[in-house]
Structure 1
Amino acid sequence: MFKSVEFKEETTLHIFTECIYAKAVWSLSGLPLITHGFNSFAQWLDFQFKNLEKGSCCLLLMLCWKLWTARNDKVWNGSLPSPSTLVEGSRRYLANWTNIVREDTATSIAKNSSVHKWDKPSSGFYKLNTDVAVSTLNRSMGFGWVLRNDTGQFVAAECIPGKGVFTPKEAEAMAIREALSWIKREGITHLQIESDALEIIQSLKQNDEDSSCDLILLDIKDLLRSIHHVAISYVSRTANVVAHSLAREACSMSVRQEWISVPPSFIVNELYSDLN
């Protein structure tokens, strides 16, 4: 485990370029960076953008994001990945994200549309969509999920309010776990699951370890193993609007609410739109 013992002024320039941990990350990244002689992080970033090729700029941004995530994980959970783990994970995530963007683009061109819409599941299957919304003002979260059959007919949905604010990855994982717990209790099989949480889907498919939410991911994997004929995949936000509306509504609720057969009025228009 990499440990830092520095106690310097907490500036963005220090966080991203001057601390021991950041220096180790940039050294392992292989990027030809100039890291000294800058008065601000914005100046440092602007200089790198002007001197790096497009692919290197993408990796630079990914590493900055992962550095910030790792720092938050250290503050809130006391864990910090090694610099080499962070760099390798960033490269893998960037490659996967690039592939998904390419696939989404190809699909959009094939359909002559830049907007992805919800699709009915395969014959004999149900489709479960999940999402999470966060209210930083009220320090609360909302989980939402919706279940539809192979004709697109509404089957069930739930709004689940939550206290506190977790990392986006933890919150998205919790939303999937809550939905699958209901699915298991109801004994539903032949299930296609969709979420717009790219990083969670990647972690589940690649068996990635993530100290910030590895226990939640293990719960999800156990639930998936208990369901016959199940698949989980990433979907764009535009194909996940009903689940997002449920999650957003859950943020303003004090108790969870469940609907069976008859949907709540605030998602009726979106359910109809998904079918047309």
Structure 2
Amino acid sequence: MPQAVVRMIHSMVAGWRNRFDATGQEGAVLPLHIRRPGVLQCFVDASLFPRTGRVGFGGILLSPEGQFWAACNGPLCCVQDPLVAEALACREVLLWLRRRGVREVELYSDCLSVVQLLCQEVSPDFPSYFGGIIDGCRAVLDEFDFISINFVRRSFNKFAHVLARGCDTHFIVWDIAPPSFLLPLMDQ
């Protein structure tokens, strides 16, 4: 079997595993972490657009009380691979947080594989494109004074998901107010 087909199969299996836990229930449940008081929360997600071949990401930064702080979204230059897209989305949002001067943050992603890889004590040896992305994320993580990487079920990542689905052809940041397409969700 050609290597490209093998990689595609592994990626599809990983995507399925991210969507369903061992019991077949959507959104695997992990133990709750202890929140650090006064720390910003950032939710990140990626989105694939198979018809156009585009990939996008979204990130939303919330105050410790859960109020809108800032948001961003934009395109990603990568293959239509959910795992690669989620890892790149994390990297882009981490870089955005760093540029904003955020030093302490709780990062939430609905991609369990990426969360697990970023939380490992020792960086796994992935001599691949994907491994380079994970290594890039880990390098940015080291620049924060405090950061926790957390898995969140998809149903709790709706703001970042809508931001990723609403991405355009360039990077956009909202600092004062959320984008209008997020307002209906925020009113719920």
What residue in structure 1 maps to residue 58 of structure 2? 144
Pick from 125, 140, 151 the counterpart of residue 209 of structure 1.
Answer: 125
CA RMSD of aligned residues (A): 3.1
Alignment of 1:96-111 (within 5 A): 98=22, 104=29
Aligned position for 2:140: 223
Q: 1:16-44, CA deviations, whole angstroms, 9 ceiling, x for partnerless residues? A: xxxxx9xxxxxxxxxxxxxxxxxxxxxxx
Label 1:225 to 1:164 Cα distance change in 2 as closer, same or farther (>3 A). closer
Q: Is the 8 A contact 1:141 1:163 kept in 2?
A: yes
Question: 1: CA distance between counterparts of 2:77 and 2:143?
Answer: 28
Match of 2:8 in 1: 72
Larger RCO: Structure 1 or Structure 2 (Cα < 8 Å, ≥ 6 residues apart)?
A: 2
> 1:208 corresponds to which letter in structure 2?
P
TM-aligned CA deviation for residue 163 of structure 1: 4.6
Question: How far did 1:271 drift?
Answer: 2.5
CA distance in 2, matches of 1:191, 1:213: 24
The correspondence for 1:242, drawn from 159, 168, 188, is 159
1:162 positional shift:
3.1
Which of 255, 263, 267 is the aligned partner of 2:170?
255
d(CA) in 1 for partners of 2:102, 2:74: 20
Offset, 1:73? 8.1
**Structural mapping, 1:50-61, within 5 Å:** none
Q: Secondary structure at the match of 2:51?
A: coil
Structure 2: distance between partners of 1:105 and 1:199: 13
1:44-69: per-residue Cα shift (whole Å, max 9, x none)? xxxxxxxxxxxxxxxxxxxxxxx997
Which residue, out of 41, 50, 54, partners 1:127? 41
Aligned mates of 1:254, 1:128 — CA distance in 2? 22
SS of 2:166's equivalent in the other structure is helix
Larger radius of gyration: 1
Q: Does 1:270 align with 2:185?
A: yes
Q: In structure 2, what residue type is equivalent to 1:261? A: I
CA distance in 1, matches of 2:156, 2:45: 11
SS in 2 for 1:104: coil
Distance 2:7 2:130 in 1: 15
Query: Larger % of helix: which?
Result: 1
Residue 125 of structure 1: how far off its partner (Å): 0.4
Question: CA shift at 1:221, angstroms?
Answer: 0.5
Note the residue ranges of structure 2 that are not aligned, 5 or more in a row: none
Cα distance in 2 for partners of 1:208, 1:179 equals 22
Distance in structure 2 (CA, Å) of the matches to 1:235 and 1:146: 14
User: Aligned with 1:213: secondary structure?
Assistant: helix
Question: Are 2:73 and 1:159 equivalent residues in the alignment?
Answer: yes
TM-score by length of 1: 0.56
**TM-score, normalised relative to structure 2:** 0.80
Query: For 1:127, what is the secondary structure of its paired residue?
Result: strand
1:72 to partner: Cα distance: 2.9
Give the CA deviation at 1:165: 2.9
Q: Identify if the C-alpha distance between structure 1 residues 73 and 225 changes in structure 2 by more than 3 Å, giving closer, same or farther.
A: farther
